[in-house]
């Protein structure tokens, strides 16, 4: 493979973009390949090299890079009608109705522009409605580039994980080990009256793909109810992938108070959302006093793409198909690793998969 064009583009980017990229995860070494276009299950880079795209936009591209005709038509229709209005449109109402109809926790929703914006807003809302400051998160979890969750350490030794975050911010965040019921009970026994909520991915996706052990999510549900805290599921990655239209919360049978979304809810366009009980979500301004606003929130092109994207999945057995492909891929890689590289194993569920290094090989 030749990478002359990508290398030249990266050299140019280094002089005008921080680190040569607009998101740090794209800065592969010695230089990233620059994508020219997508084509079905592939991407083609600036040098004409073709790659199988297992990333698919970090999750949202259920149909690969060739969206079904109804999705493309909806995007073109709304893009042609005008770039933006700063006013409500019918399509955002239709999309909100669709999400509320399918996701167990969602009675009301507020669309925003990214997963980070969604989790920032959810944390603010939890603190406001409970009158408390502390947020419990999982070690190894990820909730976007926000001050409240960019932390390291344990329950009694937390500190910021990035320069630029005051230590006083980290004092309000309590990281705990995922799947450790003993620690979560200890933390609530000590800090329960100060905990606004637990923010958790139902499946940790930032450090491999770590599934909850039986009963763990229900433990979080029970302890937050006992202490009048909120349970917040971050489904930016699992939403409308794991568990289909009901998301991971439907798959695991645990309903949180709030859910954050991103990626796929906009059909791959920039998007985020906070959904949950109406009595909570309606506390956002202007219905309540918790400030939340955004010029591009509910953008009509994004709403149209997301609505047609998920509606197509609902009407065409898409999840059955992609989940079957996911299982076939995981099984095939596992068979190869069993003979060729037993120090690796494959994890995942539904259409998610990852190959990870293990010290002693797959667990029995």
Give the residue numbers marked as catalytic: 142, 234, 263
CA distance 258 to 275: 6
b (16+ CB within 10 A) / e for 206-235: eebbbbbeeebbebbbebbeebebbbbbbb
Residue 27 to residues 14, 21, 23, 173: CA-CA distances in angstroms?
A: 11, 6, 8, 29
Question: Residues near 86 by Cβ (< 8 Å), separated by ≥ 6?
Answer: 295
CA distance 233 to 205: 13
């Amino acid at each position: 493979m030749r990478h002359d064009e990508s290398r030249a583009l990266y050299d140019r980017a280094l002089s005008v973009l921080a680190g040569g990229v607009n998101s740090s995860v794209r800065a592969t070494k010695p230089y990233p390949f620059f994508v020219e276009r997508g084509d079905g299950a592939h991407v083609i880079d600036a040098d004409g090299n073709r790659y199988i795209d297992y990333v698919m936009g970090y999750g949202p591209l259920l149909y690969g890079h060739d969206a079904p005709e109804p999705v493309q038509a909806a995007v073109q229709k709304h893009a042609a009608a005008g770039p933006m209005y700063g006013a409500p449109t019918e399509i955002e109402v239709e999309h909100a109705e669709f999400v509320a109809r399918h996701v167990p926790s969602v009675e009301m929703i507020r669309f925003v522009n990214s997963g980070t914006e969604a989790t920032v807003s959810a944390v603010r809302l939890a603190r406001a409605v409970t009158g408390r400051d502390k947020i419990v998160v999982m070690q190894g979890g990820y909730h976007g580039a926000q001050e409240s969750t960019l932390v390291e350490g344990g329950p009694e030794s937390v500190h910021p994980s990035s320069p630029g975050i005051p230590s006083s911010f980290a004092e309000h965040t309590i990281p705990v080990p995922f799947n450790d019921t003993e620690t979560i009970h200890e933390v609530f026994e000590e800090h329960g009256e100060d905990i606004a909520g637990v923010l958790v991915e139902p499946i940790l996706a930032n450090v491999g793909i770590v599934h909850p052990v039986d009963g763990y999510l229900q433990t979080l549900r029970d302890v937050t109810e006992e202490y009048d805290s909120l349970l917040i599921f971050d489904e930016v990655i699992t939403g409308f992938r794991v568990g289909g239209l009901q998301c991971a919360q439907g798959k695991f049978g645990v309903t949180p108070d709030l859910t954050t979304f991103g990626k796929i809810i906009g059909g791959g366009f920039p998007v985020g959302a906070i959904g949950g009980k109406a009595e909570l979500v309606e506390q956002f301004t202007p219905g309540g006093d918790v400030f939340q606003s955004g010029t591009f929130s509910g953008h009509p092109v994004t709403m149209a793409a997301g609505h047609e994207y998920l509606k197509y999945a609902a009407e065409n057995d898409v999840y059955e198909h992609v989940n079957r492909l996911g299982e076939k891929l995981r099984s095939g890689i596992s068979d190869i690793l069993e003979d060729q590289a037993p120090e690796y194993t494959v994890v995942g569920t539904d259409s998610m998969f990852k190959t990870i290094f293990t010290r002693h090989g797959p667990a029995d």
